[in-house]
Amino acid sequence: MGVFSFAMKQTPSLGCGGVCVSRFGGRYTSSIMAVVTGIQPFTFWRNTGFAVICAIFALWGWYDYEVKIPGLEVDSAAYDKAKETRSTLEKAAETAELKPAELAELDAAKAVLTEIKTRYGSSVPAKPAAYDRPVQMWLYIIGCGVLGVPMFIWPIIRTTRRPYRLDDDGTLRTPSTVITPSDIQDIDMGRWCNPSGDRRSTWTAKLKLKDGRTVLLDDHDYKDMHLIIGAIAHRLYPTQWTSEAKRVEQPAAASTADSASPA
């Protein structure tokens, strides 16, 4: 793999949502240089955003589990007890004069009821259901926090710390293996830039190795993977693919052009 030169001139591609092509015309020279992948900005910000959302839900769940629900349980129990005390003493006051201690107890019960109603907007604090805390624990703290945050952060770490590298001599170094140009039998570009079907797969190509293995090259998550795909596809099919993984549109036949010209 070195320098490929033939008569062609690139025009802007429509991207993978349309048709990736280059047109013949001038002079095109592609020099293969080492390529190291990174993480696609879209993938980074998408996963970061979801991780932040999961963290917010986890904190929300922790607050409900540790603060709000226990507070509701205490206030609900205190409200019910104060209400019962007030009712009992007020009934007793209808038939006999209350003792000083009982009057103090009645005043204290009324104060508790007033204070709780003030904090809850004059409403009665509802007693939490038995399943409220388990839901906060399993759905938010564990589901969103313990499991959700790492699920979105780990791909960022993995993609950043385990890149793909295409050396100058055409050797491809993946996170798990080293592939030389002689190891590659073919590259499946059937889904690459395909305008139909599963859109996620249109960012991928598959290497077919001589030992029967296949290696997925994913440009959706790995930045600059299209340069690796393009370099390999261009080496194997120079008249079909450019080194930037764009389709080459064959020039119209000269006879067609001549027949279209005025006599």
Taking residues 66-88, what's their average pLDDT? 91
Q: What are phi and psi of 29, to 5 degrees?
A: -125, 125
Closest alpha carbon to 229 in 183, 178, 177, 193? 193
Checking DSSP bridges between strand 35-36 and strand 165-166, what pairing results, if any? Answer: antiparallel
d(CA 187, CA 189): 6
Digit-coded pLDDT (tens) for 177-221: 999 999 999 999 998 988 887 788 889 999 999 999 999 999 999
Note whether 145 and 58 are within 8 A (CB): yes
Q: How many CB atoms lie within 10 A of CB 76?
A: 17
Token pair 């103090």: residue = 104
The answer to whether the beta carbons of residues 35 and 228 sit under 8 Å apart is yes
Task: Find where tokens 């020039």 sit.
Answer: 251
Confidence band, pLDDT 50/70/90 cuts, at residue 99: confident
Asked whether 57 and 152 are in contact (CB, 8 A), the reply is: no
pLDDT digits (tens, 9 = 90+) for 33-45: 689 999 999 999 9
Listed by start position, the domains of the chain span 3-37+163-256, 43-160
- Residue 77 in 3-state DSSP? helix
pLDDT in tens, 225-236: 999 999 999 999
Q: Following CA atoms 162, 166, 172, 176 in sequence, which dihedral angle do they give, to the nearest 10 degrees?
A: 0
Structure tokens belonging to residue 70: 């226990």
| CB-CB contact of 184 with 210 (8 Å) | yes
* Helices (H), ranges, the chain: 41-63, 69-95, 100-119, 132-135, 149-161, 225-236, 254-260
What local confidence, expressed as pLDDT, does residue 194 receive?
85
Bridge partners of residue 36, in order along the sequence: 165
Residue 195, pLDDT score = 83
The tokens for 137 are 């624990």
Instruction: For residue 14, give every residue at least 6 positions away whose Cβ sits within 8 Å of its Cβ, in sequence order, or none.
Output: 20, 21
Question: Alpha-carbon distance 86 to 40, whole Å?
Answer: 66
pLDDT band (50, 70, 90) for residue 15: very low
State pLDDT tens for residues 117-136: 888 886 777 888 999 999 99
Q: How far is CA 230 from CA 57, 180, 205, 221, in A?
A: 42, 16, 10, 16
21-23 and 247-249: which strand pairing?
A: parallel
Please name the residue ranges forming H helices in 140-224: 149-161
